[in-house]
Amino acid sequence: MSTVPDSGGLNGTDAVAAWTSEQQSVIEAYRLDPMQADEDLVDTLVAFHDRDDTPDVADVAGMRVEATPNPAPAIEEGPHLQDPEIRATKRQQMIDAGMSADDESLTDDMREILREKG
């Protein structure tokens, strides 16, 4: 009796993308207290929202993983975004990050905030 490796697909060194615990901590901190935003918040929120949720695959001979990232949360929903002070803070953060209301990668809520007058 002998064994032979099954043919692999993708290179096994292809790391499966996932959200880091640091990124999730940023998201969670924002949800708990939107006013405690740090300078990386907007980038993290946008990346989190726009990420690809399709399963990632790692595959080598005899071993294969299909990983499904956590679904992106509805980060732009919630009563806190109706607070004018929070909206103004968020708007400034996005402007500082170089975002514009024409950016189609942003959510409708985020574009709406960018359109508001400062």
Partner 1 sequence: MGITTAGANHALGMLIAESLTSFANANANVGVGGGAGATTAFAIAQTDLQGASKTRKACDSTYPSRAAGVLTSRATFASGDANYVWDEAALFNAPSTGVMFHRVVSAAFFTKNAGITSAVLTLTLTVTPA
Chain residues binding partner 1 by CB under 8 A are: 1-6, 12-13, 15-16, 18-21, 23-24, 58, 60-71
Provide CB contacts within 8 A for 97, sequence distance 6+: 42, 43
Give the nearer residue to partner 1 in terms of CB position, either 25 or 105: 25
Q: At what angle do helices 41-50 and 21-32 cross, to 10 degrees?
A: 110
| Least Å from the CB of residue 117 to partner 1 | 37
| Least Å from the CB of residue 50 to partner 1 | 15
Give the nearer residue to partner 1 in terms of CB position, either 6 or 85: 6
CA distances from 74 to 4, 15, 106, 109 (A): 47, 27, 13, 11
Q: How far apart are CA 97 and CA 54, in angstroms?
A: 27
Give the nearer residue to partner 1 in terms of CB position, either 13 or 82: 13
| Least Å from the CB of residue 13 to partner 1 | 7
